[in-house]
Amino acid sequence: MASVPMHQGLLLAGILFSLGLVGLLVRRNVIFMLMSLEIMLNAAGLAFVVAGARWGQADGQIVFLFILTMAAAEVSVGLALVLQIYRRFKTLDSDAVSEMRG
């Protein structure tokens, strides 16, 4: 059967990653920046799974599992930081936290 060609999947991963990057650069709300990070990590995992499916190996899916673990750890720490920022600065604007210089 004609399965999905690899470059189409990689193209989708690239588009999703670029969208996440644009969201990370454009938004100034910390919650939206974390969500954009999730989009980018998800797109990177998609690229690994597509490449693993191309060669018929399970390694791509293993790396996606590790990315999933890392995303879960990152988002829990990140959201705890968001709570702290909101408690101290009473805002979610990331520019307000720019007083920490060096």
Q: Which is nearer to other proteins, 35 or 98 (CB)?
A: 35
* Shortest reach from residue 39's CB to other proteins, in Å: 6
Q: Is the dihedral of CA 26, 29, 33, 39 positive or negative?
A: negative
**Residue 56 — left, alpha, or beta (φ > 0 → left; ψ -120 to 50 → alpha)?**
left
Shortest Cβ distance from residue 84 to other proteins (Å)? 6
Select 9 or 96, whichever has its Cβ closest to other proteins: 9
**Cα–Cα distance measured from residue 63 to residue 5, given in angstroms and rounded to the nearest whole number:** 21
Please identify, using beta-carbon distances, which residue of 74 and 102 lies nearer to other proteins: 74
Smallest separation (angstroms) from other proteins to the CB of 12: 5
User: Which residues contact other proteins (rule: CB under 8 A)?
Assistant: 1-4, 8-9, 12, 15-16, 19-20, 22-23, 26-27, 29, 31-32, 34-36, 38-39, 42, 46, 49-50, 52-53, 56-62, 64-66, 68-77, 79-84, 86-87, 92
CA quadruple 58, 60, 61, 62: dihedral sign: positive
Q: Residues 82, 31: contact at Cβ < 8 Å?
A: yes
